[in-house]
Amino acid sequence: MGNRLHFEDFTAGQLYSLGAHRITAEEIIDFAREFDPQPQHLDPEAAKASILGGLAASGWHLCALAMRMIVDGLLGRTVSMGSPGVDDVQWRRPVYAGDDLRLDAEVLETRPSSRADRGYVRFRFTMSRVRGGERERVMLFMSSNIIGREKENA
Amino acid sequence: MGNRLHFEDFTAGQLYSLGAHRITAEEIIDFAREFDPQPQHLDPEAAKASILGGLAASGWHLCALAMRMIVDGLLGRTVSMGSPGVDDVQWRRPVYAGDDLRLDAEVLETRPSSRADRGYVRFRFTMSRVRGGERERVMLFMSSNIIGREKENA
């Protein structure tokens, strides 16, 4: 665990760029078929007639893609001990096939636990769509993560 | 749309049983490989050594399974116009392969929109594990859903 990030490595205000992903129609449909079989996520023709105006990703698919970027970009190199939950998940804009997505994180707060071996780090995760250099926020949520302390502090 | 549920069909205090699902190790691993590749969700042996004590589903997998039960049990027969988000997602207990899951919903509040063709219905969704007749809550969240009104009221 020598080079992994511990609770002590996090400070309020830190910013992380966690990854980028171009979402495809095939991914949108595969997720929807299993977890959110509504016409606007399943069928490009039916989706044109829906309030979203085209085939759009399930909001839960965006959360799952965010988690993948969080693991690949941050938790995979962190002494992560799980999360009790997330709050304030906002689906701001429909995400369409071909959209270029990015995920960023901000550390909002750090707080030691009453248990000496761990602490809580509160993050805001923001997914954006990038188009011609401009970024538009499409999804946000906050989470508290339980992160192990360095042995010498535990 | 004759037999579908509209905004007027919902009232605070209504309860719905939305479905049941026995989760398998294969499903847990498939989801984790794509969206949450952490050892406690991927590898039964590594999971035994983790804080969860065994192969356990990603919290986001539970959300996605809940959404499937919500679509199959409720939204598929409702004039659903999407959701701006969810809040207070609580992952209360680890969910292991073989667990029998159920999803229930309670209507917390209904509120007409300023737009005459729709209203907001606020739900609490509760996923439970059933073991020998006893139920234990494993995951909860609340969401606001936009639901179409009957034409004669719009």
Q: What's the pLDDT tens digit per position in B66-100? A: 999 999 999 999 999 999 999 999 999 999 999 99
B144 shares contact with chain A (CB less than 8 Å):
no
Question: Within a 13 Å sphere around the CA of B74, how many CA atoms are in the beta-carbon half?
Answer: 27
In this predicted structure, the answer to whether residue A87 has a pLDDT above a threshold of 90 is yes
Predicted model pTM: 0.95
pLDDT for res A152: 61
Nearest CA in chain B to A140: B85
> Over the stretch A33-63, which tens digit does the pLDDT of each residue have?
999 999 999 999 888 888 788 999 999 999 9
- What is the SS3 assignment for B20? strand
Question: Of A72, A85, A90, which is closest to B89 when you measure between CB atoms?
Answer: A85
B91 shares contact with chain A (CB less than 8 Å):
yes
pLDDT for res B153: 56
Contacts of residue B22, Cβ cutoff 8 Å, sequence gap at least 6: B98, B99, B100, B101
Lowest mean pLDDT across A3-17, B36-50, B72-86:
B36-50
End-to-end Cα distance, chain B: 15
> Which band of pLDDT confidence, cut at 50, 70 and 90, is reported for residue B151?
confident
Interface test with B, best of A4, A23, A35 (most B CBs within 10 A): A35
- What is the SS3 assignment for B71? helix
Q: Mean per-residue pLDDT for A9-28?
A: 97
β partners of residue A117: none
Q: What share of chain B is helix, strand, coil (3-state, %, to 5)?
A: 25, 40, 35
A75 shares contact with chain B (CB less than 8 Å):
yes
Q: Which two tokens stand for residue A122?
A: 């509160």
Question: Of A76, A85, A92, which is closest to B91 when you measure between CB atoms?
Answer: A85
